[in-house]
Structure 1
Amino acid sequence: MEKWMVAAKKANFNRLAKTFSISPVLARIMVNRGLKTDEEFQQFLYGDLSALHRPEKMKDMERGVECIRRSVDGGHLICIASDFDVDGVFSGYILWRGIHRVGGQAYVVAPDRIQEGYGLNSRIVREAYRRGAGCILTCDNGIAAMDAIGMAKGLGMDVVVTDHHEPVYEIDTDEDGTEKRIYKLPPADAVIDPKREDCGYPFKGLCGAGVAWKFVELLYETYGVPKSEFYELLPFSAVATVADVMDLVDENRIIVKYGLHGMAKTEHPGLQAVIRHSGLNKNYISAYHIGFVIGPCFNAAGRLDRADMAIRLLQTTDREEAERLAADLVALNQSRKEMTALGYERAVEQIEKEGLYKDKIILICLENCHESLAGIIAGRLKEKYHRPVIAGTEKDGMIKASGRSIEAYNMYESLSACRNLFERFGGHAMAAGMSLKKENFSVLRERLNENCGLLEEDLIPVVHIDVPMPLDYISEGFIQELDLLEPFGKGNPKPIFAEKHFRILRASVIGKNRNVLKMQVCNDSGVRMDALYFGDIREFDDYVEKMYGADGKNRMYAGLSNPVDMAFTYYPSLNEYGGRRILQIIIHNFQRIPR
């Protein structure tokens, strides 16, 4: 089971509540998110587009825009070298639309995930040269493309890099034995990446599309394009920010908040079609819908087909074509989900059979699995076993793998120490991708586990509770106040509340797929409320039976007097049905806490 921990950050919650006209509970949640000063509170609650940082604060931004201006004014074709995931596709579209708006000519190209892998490559450079492009503009990649950019420069092409990934570095040792990083940048005309060591941009957490959006801001200003047209691109930057799992803080929070507003107004045929075919209402799109519905649809193209389909969907102005492409993307994503579920089940069987769960770092080579699904499966395995997971697929003696990590383990740092084992490698603290020879996979497993430094306590999942809060406090007004914290996501998770003792008055399994547990619960104050649990019902039942016996569990389901007394973490919500608004809680975690 998890370890439950109540956040214990101190502040004058009553003063903050009075200053910002919010409840002390909301003030406590915001302090738990790391907000300290009144200025930070003001920015979090009421920050708007005027609070965004100026693009020229980013190193090489002005140089890069000037380079593109020369190509536009000179009538030279620009190759936008993108990537095959959501961030790459959307950043490519933002740059393409921006360049065309100022009178330039450009096309977007992405590598083939299976045949070529991530990033700018020689095939893209040769093709750009053959088509007569005078400039290559990268997005969501390029910071590590030393050879390909060197090749482009050798052919006489201009190259502008826009990226957000960590620059490549080597470890050097001083005379006193102190290790230091020596960063290497590609030989481009401009390298725009907020993670550059010498970049003074105030916010380092933009995704690739966020950097591209900033690039277009300065490009539009150079050509006198109205600011309103720049803001029309907000929804595309917002989708990429959520889909690429960026922290929703600082600029990202503003981009997503106002991008979601823009989704409701957008007339963009591609976005409208995907929203419609996914069964969503464009007036009520949340970060959740982007992360789990819209984003995966656009990602499916690069995973199972080619990213070209997603790029065409964004570029088309023909509504019939948009409808057709959106339907194809949604169907492709459905296939991806089914393939992922099967791959995950087989992976769990393999881990249990081979005893890989005993390792602190799980490395698994998936059999009969599409290589593009390895990262998703690694993420799900990480959640199940709560330890870092690297999942790969093998072909012709080579393994392509994706890793997903936990907070206590910097995967990029650890893999960097094994760099000599890889043919290709890149990533960050929580995720990484790599290619290596099959015989090196077992060597990697051994090295990582020997040097991981993880303790057993690091492998116990921790549930961070924002506020221990009884049902008595929940009201419709409080639930509406929680909307001030939106958008939720990485870096700004949905708050978690908890209460130690709930009696379950009755329970039933509902839903078309019989996958929702509905309960009526009652706390020690006598407050009754409906509760829904969307997790593993069998696991819940087994736990109740273990704690209170089969008779206790059966009486709970029969609605009879029973001994079941459970602690829940939860989030309050409103159930609107038949014109009625009923308070309820959504259960996340459960355990028995003795009285």
Structure 2
Amino acid sequence: MEQWYIYKKKADFAGIGEKYQIDPVIARLIRNRDVISDEEIHSYLYGTMKDVSDPLLLKGAKETAEILEKKIREEKKIRIISDYDVDGVMSNYILWKALTDLGGIVDFTIPNRMKDGYGINQSLVSRAVKDGIDTIITCDNGISAGEAVKYGREQGLTMIVTDHHEVPFEELPDGTRREILPEAHVVVDPKQKECHYPYPLLCGAGVAFQLMRALYRDLGKKEESLENLLPFLAVATICDVVDLTGENRIFVKEGLSRIHETGNTGFQALLKVHELDQKKIASYDCGFVIGPCINASGRLDTAEKVMGLFLERDPVKAEAVASELKELNEERKRMTEEGVAQGIEQAQLCMDKGDKVLVVYLPECHESVAGIIAGRIKDRLHHPVFVLTDSEDGKKGSGRSIETYSMFEEMMKIKDVFTKFGGHPMAAGCSLEDGRLDEFRERINRQCTLTEKDFIDKVHIDADMPVDYITMDLIRQMSVLEPFGKGNKKPLFAHRKLKVERVRVFGKGKNVIKLALKSSQGTRIDGMIFEEEESFREKMQEMQYITCTYYPVINEYQGYRNLQIQIQNYFFTEE
């Protein structure tokens, strides 16, 4: 079920348009994204690295820089331990490259998803001790790893935690919360209460990058030399689905503009095998092409393969590894499709029983794709979803949430049911003992306060704009709004009642529908729908008119250019 809302935010759109030389429609779109003051509008349109906050405002950044400077000078062995997802791998590479360029003796470990689980643990710390490591620095993990961090200190290691995840807490009798921070020598996480960094929404790679800026400044080195790492930061920011606002927006814009200039052989090979080496790279390419290949390595093999790719200097070897990653991702897609089909059936049964939080158990599912499957089911049914599978130590899985349900906070209320858990309001991971699955399902639902209105998918429309208004120039101007992603979604317009003159269905899976449309003013335009033919025909039932939400594009084919709309949501009427 969907509910459509049109933004009614007010501003002097004509005045803003004139001041910044943009179409009033563009001014409306910017206002809809809560970019209001002149300073905010200027940063949104023209923000550069000069507008990024002083890295020393990060709590712990100065102390970390001082420790690392000393370790590099004394030639101590430093080990980076990251997560195995895109953000983790990119954080790892950013730290490794920046520290080795300064002459540091640095290596890295990325936990094996199946063997080690998420983040740093005592086993990885023991291995570091055995290898003669002096200092461990985590990235994109560690904030919840109190025991492992404490163990590292007991073994004489210098422990530095850098992360961006929510800080674990305990509820006190007076209703306040007490943060539970790991006992590291330094903790750098903009989410900790005592950190007053102006933009706390950085991903793990953003924290790592800012930390290296602080170190370079401490050593009197040029911070600009770190800008060749911005493409890695851009991919991490997009793939970790953090808000593309403020500093994240600047990092992504700057990173995408430099993506073909990284000089990194492995990165270029990854672009080449996907035929992106000659193309202008957009956030879509990072989120749906490059990122999934990196993730597939951490899910089905080891993410250290990706780090190896980024360290490879031989173009032939790099292309071979990049091709392997592409094949792994194809295998991941197949496994995901099978899991989604089975999961939807089970989730429907949960809903029939009255469950609001859908806990799906897929014993044969590869645990690495549980989160992707949970996300797909959540998108389809618009309920919070957990997908769990069998692991060596019990049940293990991932959850994906809807905006009205903070998954991490709800899990904190029943934390005794888990052997391990962590995450964000919108996504989480967990492990539990065999035999506690039903208890988890029952307790997470018992405390759930969601109502039926929370399960209605809310479609937010920027403007009720007839297709007659679309021009090539307007679409070109819309590029100033990029990059698109969470917190800065693609603009969405609506047109009420377009006449459907002709329908064509094509594509391998018969999932591309092309409609020849005509407005009441006589404007003709093609509309594209990407959906299974059977589902489309069920909705259409020979009706003559379509009311839809859309995003306008310029279609180029054999040198010919025409306007087109990509239809997102729709329903048909007879008249």
TM-score range, shorter chain: over 0.9
Instruction: Supply the distance in 2 between the matched residues of 1:39 and 1:221 (Cα, whole angstroms).
Output: 27
Cα deviation for residue 396 of structure 1 reads 5.4
Name the residue aligned to 1:577: 557
Indicate the larger mover: 436-445 or 29-38: 436-445
Q: CA deviation at 1:266?
A: 2.3
Contact 1:238 / 1:256 at 8 angstroms: preserved in 2? yes
In structure 2, what is the Cα distance between the partners aligned to 1:237 and 1:367?
35
Give the alignment's Cα RMSD to 1 decimal: 1.5
Aligned equivalent of 1:416, options 412, 416, 436: 412
Equivalents in 1 of 2:520, 2:53: separation in Å?
50
- Give yes or no for the alignment of 1:349 onto 2:345: yes
Q: CA deviation at 1:259?
A: 0.2
The answer as to whether partners of 2:111 and 2:119 remain within 8 angstroms in 1 is yes
Q: 1:53 to 1:282 in 2, by over 3 A?
A: farther
Aligned to 1:556: none
Note the 1:17-416 alignment, pairs <5 A. Answer: 17-174=17-174, 179-352=175-348, 358-395=354-391, 398-416=394-412
Task: Find the aligned partners of 1:200 and 1:355 in 2 and give their Cα distance.
Answer: 42
The 8 Å contact of residues 351 and 357 in structure 1, kept in 2 or not, is answered as: no
Q: Which residue of 1 aligns with 2:524?
A: 528
Q: 1:230-249: per-residue Cα shift (whole Å, max 9, x none)?
A: 11110011111011111000
Distance, in Å, in 2 between the alignment partners of 1:523 and 1:314 is 51
Measure how far apart 1:357 and its partner are: 7.3
Distance 1:89 1:395 in 2: 23
Whether 1:453 aligns to 2:433 is no
Gaps of 5+ in 1: 546-552, 554-562
- What's the CA shift for 1:384? 0.9
Give 1:450 deviation, angstroms: 2.1
**What is the alpha-carbon distance in structure 2 between the residues aligned to residue 496 and residue 28 of structure 1?**
12
**Quick one: distance in 2 between partners of 1:210 and 1:335?**
30
Distance 1:271 1:397 in 2: 36
Describe the shift of the 1:161–1:396 C-alpha distance in structure 2 as closer, same or farther (beyond 3 A).
closer
SS at match of 1:330: helix
Give deviations 1:249-268, integer Å, cap 9, x for gaps. Answer: 00000000010001022221
Q: Which residue identity does 1:285 align to in structure 2?
A: I
Contact 2:268 2:277 in 1 (8 A): no
**Structure 2 contact 347–359 (Cα < 8 Å) conserved:** no
Shift of the alpha carbon at 1:6? 0.6
Determine helix, strand or coil for the equivalent of 2:176. Answer: strand
Question: Structure 1 residue 513: deviation in Å?
Answer: 3.9
| DSSP-derived class of the 2:546 partner | strand
Residue 593 of structure 1 and its aligned partner are, at CA, apart by 6.1
1:126-158 deviation line (CA, Å, top 9, x unaligned): 111111111111110111111111111111111
Which is further off, 485-494 or 529-538?
529-538
* Structure 1 CA distance for aligned equivalents of residues 224 and 53 of structure 2: 17
Residues 395-404 or 115-124, more deviating = 395-404
Deviations along 1:493-547, one digit per CA (max 9) or x if unpaired, are: 00100101111000111234432101110111111011111123322210111xx
Matches of 1:356 and 1:362 in 2, distance apart?
11
Q: Whole-Å Cα distance in 2 between the matches of residues 212 and 9 of structure 1?
A: 37
Structure-2 residue corresponding to 1:473: 469
Q: CA deviation at 1:359?
A: 1.9
Instruction: Name the CA distance, whole Å, in 2 between partners of 1:358 and 1:481.
Output: 47
Distance 2:281 2:565 in 1: 21
Greater shift, 500-509 or 220-229, is seen at 220-229
2:568 corresponds to: 588
For residues 356 and 399 of structure 1, do their structure 2 counterparts lie closer, same or farther at Cα, with a shift above 3 Å needed? farther
Task: Name the SS for the 1:173 alignment partner.
Answer: coil
Alpha-carbon distance in structure 1 between the residues aligned to 2:168 and 2:113? 21
Distance 2:309 2:391 in 1: 32
Q: Is the 8 A contact 1:264 1:283 kept in 2?
A: no
Q: Is the 8 A contact 1:401 1:434 kept in 2?
A: yes
The one-letter amino acid of 2:443's match is R
CA distance in 2, matches of 1:328, 1:231: 29
Which of 513, 534, 537 matches 1:538?
534
Query: Using the alignment, how far apart are the partners of 1:183 and 1:594 within structure 2?
Result: 59
- More moved, 575-584 vs 475-484: 575-584
Residue 161 of structure 1 aligns to a residue whose secondary structure is strand
Distance in 1 (CA, whole Å) between partners of 2:202 and 2:351 is 39
Aligned to 1:505: 501
Q: Distance in 1 between matches of 2:290 and 2:159?
A: 32
Aligned-residue offset at 1:353: 5.4
Letter in 1 for 2:570: F
Distance 1:125 1:360 in 2: 40
For residues 198-253 of structure 1, give each alpha carbon's deviation from its aligned partner in whole angstroms, at most 9, with x where no partner exists. Answer: 00100011010111011111222233433332111100111110111110000000
Deviations 1:398-448 (A, max 9, x none): 110211000111111111101111100101110111111232221222222
| Separation (CA, whole Å) in 1 of partners of 2:571 and 2:509 | 25
Q: Which stretch has the larger CA shift, 392-401 or 321-330?
A: 392-401
Q: Distance in 2 between matches of 1:160 and 1:44?
A: 34
Q: Which residue identity does 1:150 align to in structure 2?
A: K
Cα drift, residue 334 of structure 1: 0.7
Range moving further from structure 2, 223-232 or 241-250: 223-232
State the AA in 2 paired with 1:92: N
SS of the residue aligned with 1:29? helix
Distance 1:594 1:196 in 2: 56
Cα distance in 2, alignment partners of residues 271 and 359 from structure 1: 44
Instruction: Return the TM-score normalized by structure 1.
Output: 0.94
Given that 1:357 and 1:385 are in contact with CA atoms closer than 8 Å, whether structure 2 keeps it comes out as no
Displacement of 1:92 in angstroms is 0.5
Q: State how far apart, in whole Å, the 2-side matches of 1:229 and 1:334 are.
A: 36
The structural deviation recorded for 1:317 is: 2.0
Q: Report the Cα distance in structure 2 between the residues aligned to 1:131 and 1:69, rounded to whole angstroms.
A: 21
The 3-state SS of whatever aligns with 1:394 is strand
Cα distance 1:112–1:455, how it changes in 2: closer, same or farther (>3 A)?
A: same
Q: Which deviates more, 240-249 or 107-116?
A: 107-116
CA contact (8 A) 1:102 1:223 kept: no
Instruction: Tell me, yes or no, if the aligned pair for 2:351 and 2:358 is still in contact at 8 Å.
Output: no
Contact persistence 2:5–2:460 (CA under 8 A): yes
* 1:12 matched residue in structure 2: 12
Name the SS for the 2:234 alignment partner.
helix
Moved more, 62-71 or 509-518: 509-518
Q: Secondary structure, in 3 states, of the residue corresponding to 2:172?
A: strand
Cα distance between partner residues in 1 of 2:532 and 2:384: 22
Work out whether residues 539 and 572 of structure 2, in 8 Å CA contact, stay in contact via their aligned partners in 1: no
Aligned-pair CA distance for 1:392: 0.4
Q: Which amino acid aligns with 1:430?
A: M
SS in 2 for 1:526: coil
- Of the structure 1 ranges 264-273 and 487-496, higher mean CA displacement relative to structure 2 is found in 264-273
Q: Which shows bigger deviation, 317-326 or 238-247?
A: 317-326
